[in-house]
Structure 1
Amino acid sequence: ALDQSAIVAITDQTGRIIHVNDKFCQISRYSREELLGSNHRILNSGFHDAEFFRSMWKCIAGGKVWEGEIKNRAKDGSFYWVNTTIVPFLNEEKKPYQYVAIRYEITQRKAAEEATRVYAARLEASNRELQDFASVAAHDLQEPLRKILGFGDRLQSAASGALNDQSRDYLDRMLSSAKRMRRLIEDLLTFSRVNAKARSFQATPLNAVLAEVLSDLELRIEQSGAAVDVGELPTVEADASQMHQLFQNLLGNSLKFHREGVAPRVEVRGRVRGDLAEITVRDNGIGFDEKYLDRIFTIFQRLHGRHEYEGTGVGLAVCRRIVERHGGSLVAASRPGEGAAFTVILPRRAGAELT
């Protein structure tokens, strides 16, 4: 069975081929007569440098098994990849007298890996260009917008008395729209900078982050009569400034989307599951229908009109982007009128993967 599925060759201690199976001949396109007595250099593709083979020979000449992936060239000039295990056979003096090489072709796997690598590189470049475009476009839009707001404010202050009711209404609408546009631009810049302006990961106590967030939201908490209960939270390796932004957005939403006549109640709880940290922000607000789960994390998407609740529809998109930059996930659960729960799952150590 091994002889049928594997590519097998045996060489003497100098590397001269003394046996090959049919599979070896088939993939290399060489006849058995051409291979016997020759060296494996006959298959050298030029892909690996001299140090690669020196390291391999040092390993097997020392009596140790070597494993690795090698790109070979067949007689017809085509290339193929093999996963190779070379086992030295030792004499009574513990010196190798021959080597058995067992190989399995992995050409298709390597081609798929290369295609994935190229696709990922193109995607990264595309994302970088999109971030740069968003940042530049938003920055360039700010200057003319400042002038609209500046001259609009001057006109409102200096000539308001000379305007009739309809003209004052037009001016108010213009300034209101310009201010809303400014918020959109600022949020777009925030979204585009999640990766571009990112800092390195460091040990970040999330209780300390939440303490700062509650301090920043103190006035809103007082005005809404909210109660915020934060439990014991874990420490994670993260960008502390982005953790602040993440939880300020989540808590800010809990304060914003509260039911009329009902004071907001927000609970923040954390737990550790192996290498993962799980933090849930739960509230008693208006909630939402879970059929809109994908929509709430899409930039500029809103479930409510701007006259009902302020905002631009960027906050949760920023949250998801921050969490994904940290190798984590952000999920939500809710029912209309029964509040919402947003759960952040993060690796406790930078570079770890979710399982």
Structure 2
Amino acid sequence: MKKFYKIFIVAVVFSLVASAAFAGGSKETGIKELTKKEKEAGWRYFKPIGFKLHRPAFFDTYRDNVNADSSVGEEDKKTDEVVYKVYLYEFASDELNEKYDAIVSNKQLSRDQKNEKINKEVNPYLKPIYKLVVLRTPLIGKKTLAELTGLPNNEVIRKTKEFTQVLAIADFNAEGLSEKAAEIYKDMISQVRPIIPTIQCTDPISAEAAMIKNVKGLTFNTVDLEGNKITSDILAKYDVTMINIWATWCPPCRAELPEIGKLYEAFKDKGCNIIGITGDVSPDEQDALPTAKELISKAGCKYTVVQYNDTLKPILDNLAAWPTTIFVDKKGNIIASSVNDIIIGSRDLAEFTEAMKKALKAVGK
């Protein structure tokens, strides 16, 4: 699955690793959480937008031709924006994928130059497939759903006094596509409407707020990428530990690894540590392990990078996007006075440095 973002932004959480799948139910939402079996069968539960559904088969059939973007909308209930949150899924042809890869891998271009080329040469040519849209009901007014969602075919799944949740579907348009690409795009759109009967909705849950609520007295027992045992006892050795949640398939995650490596070198002797959690590598899922090792090595990262397991669920269960970065104290309590202290998306060295200093100040160092 491709994700055409700025080099230092985010990748949407469109799926959790199998070992991180939810179990049981949710008293807060009334919707049963995903089981591992459901996840493997294609079900997804997006808590930040309150949608649970069986995703279209094209996510598997045309995996590399789907771009997922959750960057639209705000999660501040006090805002006057009618759009609360949008998950957008777009079609990227093989030709567009090749152009994107060429830009990203061009070492002669700076980060800003890559972003500029992606915005000019790639993003305008992505074709919308569908959107999962959450609107603020009181602010809808006289505007049509097509005006609000930007797509012509709209199905209201759930409407309350606060939120209106909509499945918005694009019309097929072959302009600019090769014959093969047009066939794939048409097939993708045809698969969306049949998922309507599977959709359940509840009120959106702020992933950042859930993270602050649930990451307290964090304890874990896992292994690093080499199989060495790593436990939460390591937290007590440092005033502040930065925890970076990443995945090998996530371009923004990979892009920030060298920055985090530099951050570690700058703060390792100042009472700070860094732990990376590799979301797509676990004792039960080892396919991405060689890739993870290679990426960490090439980025020059000397900090501890662990494999995901169920003891890390308090963090992974509340993930809004890849990568996500948080800070915890000696006792495993999250250092966050507000949701703004949860770092969603990639950052550069200067931004990470500022966040680390803020965390140190918060614990009196």
- How would you bin the TM-score normalised by the shorter chain? under 0.3
Q: Where is the helix percentage greater, Structure 1 or Structure 2? A: 1
TM-score (structure 1 length as normaliser): 0.20
